[in-house]
Structure 1
Amino acid sequence: MHGIKTNVLLTGTRTIASLASGVIGLIATASASAGAATLALDAAFPLNKPVLITDVRKAIGQAGTGGTLLPSLEAIYDQVSPIVIVVRVAEAEGEDQDEAVIGSAGAYSGIYALLAAEAQTGYRPRVIGAPGLDSQAVTTALASVAMKLRARVYARGIGATITEVKAYRQNFSARELSIIWPNWSNAFAGDAVARALGLRAAIDETHGWHKSLSNVPVHGVTGISENLFFDIQDETTDVASLNDSDIVTLIRSPSGGFVYWGNRTCSDEPLFAFEPAVRTSQVLQDEIAKGLVWAVDKPLTMALIKDILETINARFRSLVVQGRLIGGRAWFDPALNSAADLAAGKLVIDYDFTPAAPLEGLTLNQRITDKYYADLAAALAA
């Protein structure tokens, strides 16, 4: 070429986009009367196929009349109309129902169909559950799949008494899992779980993924299925006992209405005891990884490393300003990046973060004094 040619080189930091964290993954059964209704249900919700719902109200009209799908969608819709990915499973009895719900990892059926949801629908489920179908075996499988999806699981506590439910909770140690007990006053056994799924999506939309499920008004409920003693100033109540055992429970709020009460997960790692800590970790993992796809396969130079670091740190600064994070920082550690590894195209970046913990315990110190009478006397004498 005889002249000047200009190459446009794309360098510098990139913006890390927010994650769609309130996408619900719902495992459910459904049935309809024979004939056209059954054909319409099968067409709308084929067995073991992830189906994307963007209009929950419309989906309610296609959900049949039997099974758990219809009441689950109604409970979710009472809270919000989010994106829902439905996997319909066959209706059965006892252990056969558990087998149908859990499905097969190899065939991507049942719960495992959620792993294929992103490829099929473009959305990854971030809040998952099987309302009314969540036996111990099903809940264990949900927690396992949630670990792969970096999702939150809500499941019912099983037991007729507080003692039994507390013993049941000891079967789990997954940070992705929250156990809920008892149920709302509703004939549907999965009502508390279904409404938790919807409320979680609503909170993500209005507050953010850093806010726990606890102490947010629940819509569409009229009471609690069990008698529980609660006093916000008493550490020895039924509700306090459940919370101390990492069980999310239900209360009539002192300020009015009904709410979920409890911030704890089933984690055996104290750093992930709070739901917001787990969700913050999950969201950061996916946002940062997705936000750095542009850097993969680019020449590994000092400029690229600096761009990667600044991309991550810029996101941390933004989240701190939004109140979603207390702090965070990414850095390059020479001890973890030998010349041989860098020459082989391998780069290690460290980052840490501090999630925003929920204000779980507030102490108020009350004192009685006569000192304000001095102010009264002075005012009268003026």
Structure 2
Amino acid sequence: MAQDYHHGVRVVEINEGTRPIRTVATAVIGLVATAPDAAAAVAATLLKESAAAESGVTYTAATAGTTGNAIRVRYVDPGSASATLAVTVSGKDITVRLATDTEGAITSTAAEVATAVNGEANASALVTAAEEGAGAGVVAASGFSNLTGGEDEPFPLDTPVLVTDPLGAQGDAGDTGTLARSLDAIVDQVKTLVVVVRVAEGADDAETKTNVIGGVDGNGKRTGVQALLAAEARLGVKPRILGVPELDDADVTSELIGVAQKLRAFVYASAGDSTTMEEAAMYRENFGAREVMVIWPDFTGWDTATSSTRTHSAVARAMGLRAKADQAIGWHKTLSNMPVNGVTGISQDVFWDLQDPNTDAGYLNSHEVTTLIQRNGFRFWGSRTCSTDPLFAFENYTRTAQVIADTIAEAHLWAVDKPMHPSLVKDIVEGINAKFREWKRQNYIIDGVAWFDAEINTPEVLKAGKLYIDYDYTPVPPLENLMLQQRITDRYLVDFADRVAAA
């Protein structure tokens, strides 16, 4: 009988048509910081007791962290006379075979068990044993018991860590270094995801800078700012708002820009050690990338760690405010002219007037430096990047390009390696156009459209398994310069008499 014969009903699924496109997450901060007294890892422990007095043994994992919670210990009665005390290890299970006398009664004391465990190489590689009290009491047989309480280091060096609660994480960040202060600055603005990379604080500023810049160690592990590139593989999130508050200079920022370009992220950077607006303008000339905004000066405010007023990093607050804007308004809004929380002053005098272009703020903005002002609260003032290409002069132009590129690309994994029928191409184009219509309705873009270009998609190109889909879009310009044209006229006096009569 023919193999395709069937007497009944069969269903063949045809999964064609457009797919919904989800916008990539944008309010994810990538923070590189120091924290010399950050919380350490906690070793797992186990107190194994018996009914006999002073017969306890405490086991402590040799390696701190959650891996110690998988270690188990048991005491076994050999069930025979004149047995000797012996320790064996299988994986992470430690078995103590207790000694007995000529009548088969257990004779091993806590002290003897601890000595035996510490003397067995495989067991001592897992735990350290210590008798409780005098250790003279005879122990009793018991089943497996797990070590518990092991906790990993919350911020291991040069390792991206996902912080979902920046406020709670401050307790593990310690009191020194930049991590706790940076988290506090972010929390003042918003609750968002933060990818933290902690680096070691060096013996001097130069060594700390080297640690911040990082690289790749002998084991292939990325360190310093380069560790942000490992975040997506390790944590499943991609940091898109990057900064190294209080530790960035031209060298650090230059390296961070390279990371941002790989991640399609945006960098907020200070103007280094600039003490005047002229120095800040000159400092900005170090960069020509669209992925960075230079900010000068810093904020001031109360520091609870020192119970005094001190300088507060503008970069850390820019990162938090950027995430807040993404959540509340969208990635099409620039950082400028939004109130900043948690600050009470500006570290340098910056003259600003809403109507006068010849001010300190106007000078800085004209040199693509974002500054700080005080008007109904403290605010960032300026939307310019360091781009040499006028197409990406504004912060939101760069971020719009990044978000659209990643969203459209990542949304079409499903289409790769599918048979390239015309229907597939149509589905891709229609799906992109549907997303553009959604963004247009939400005011994220002015408009955008995708299309299939027959001229570039020649038979030879298609035969090679390649497909070109074109699309264009218009980002939303920020209203940077509002020109109000005021005129004086006497034309409203022409009918003055009639107005009097009608009054």
After TM superposition, is the score higher than 0.5? yes
Kept in 2: contact 1:31–1:38 (CA 8 A): no
Q: Compared with structure 1, are the counterparts of its residues 190 and 300 closer, same or farther at alpha carbon in structure 2 (3 Å cutoff)?
A: farther
CA shift, 1:361, in A, is 0.3
- Once the two structures are superposed, what CA deviation does each residue of 1:284-312 show, in whole Å capped at 9, x if it has no partner? 01110111111111110100000000011
Aligned to 1:162: 277
Cα distance in structure 2, aligned partners of 1:353 and 1:110: 36
What are the residue-to-residue correspondences of 1:272-287 with 2, within 5 Å?
272-287=392-407
Cα distance in structure 2, aligned partners of 1:195 and 1:42: 29
Larger Rg: 2
Pick from 185, 190, 194: which aligns with 2:300?
185
Kept in 2: contact 1:53–1:86 (CA 8 A): yes
Higher relative contact order (CA 8 A, sep 6+): 1
Kept in 2: contact 1:133–1:190 (CA 8 A): no
Kept in 2: contact 1:250–1:261 (CA 8 A): yes
* Runs of 4+ in structure 1 over 4 Å off: 37-42, 186-190
In the alignment, structure 1 residue 378 sits paired with structure 2 residue 467: no
Pick from 234, 237, 243: which aligns with 2:356?
234
Cα distance in structure 2, aligned partners of 1:300 and 1:39: 53
- Once the two structures are superposed, what CA deviation does each residue of 1:344-379 show, in whole Å capped at 9, x if it has no partner? 211011111110010000001111223333455323
Kept in 1: contact 2:332–2:476 (CA 8 A): yes
Structure number with higher strand proportion? 2
Give the share of equivalent positions with the same residue, in percent. Answer: 51
Aligned to 1:293: 413
In the alignment, structure 1 residue 220 sits paired with structure 2 residue 342: yes
Q: Compared with structure 1, are the counterparts of its residues 305 and 174 closer, same or farther at alpha carbon in structure 2 (3 Å cutoff)?
A: same
In the alignment, structure 1 residue 357 sits paired with structure 2 residue 362: no
Aligned to 1:25: 30
Kept in 2: contact 1:131–1:190 (CA 8 A): no
CA shift, 1:21, in A, is 0.2
Cα distance in structure 2, aligned partners of 1:79 and 1:378: 57
Kept in 1: contact 2:432–2:450 (CA 8 A): yes
Question: What is the Cα-based RMSD across aligned positions, in Å?
Answer: 1.6
Kept in 2: contact 1:132–1:188 (CA 8 A): no
Cα distance in structure 1, aligned partners of 2:192 and 2:227: 20
Cα distance in structure 1, aligned partners of 2:6 and 2:348: 86
- Once the two structures are superposed, what CA deviation does each residue of 1:77-97 show, in whole Å capped at 9, x if it has no partner? 000110000000000122211
Aligned to 2:64: none
39-48 vs 315-324, which moves further: 39-48
- Once the two structures are superposed, what CA deviation does each residue of 1:246-287 show, in whole Å capped at 9, x if it has no partner? 01100012xx11110001000111100011110000000111
Pick from 363, 366, 371: which aligns with 1:244?
366
What are the residue-to-residue correspondences of 1:58-97 with 2, within 5 Å?
58-92=168-202, 93-97=204-208
Aligned to 1:201: 323
Aligned to 2:91: none
Cα distance in structure 1, aligned partners of 2:440 and 2:247: 39
Aligned to 1:174: 289
Aligned to 1:8: 13
Structure number with higher helix proportion? 1
> Unmatched 5+ residue regions in structure 2?
43-150, 302-308
CA shift, 1:39, in A, is 4.5
Q: Which amino acid aligns with 1:29?
A: T
Pick from 209, 214, 231: which aligns with 1:98?
209
296-305 vs 180-189, which moves further: 180-189
Cα distance in structure 2, aligned partners of 1:91 and 1:249: 29
Q: Which amino acid aligns with 2:292?
A: L
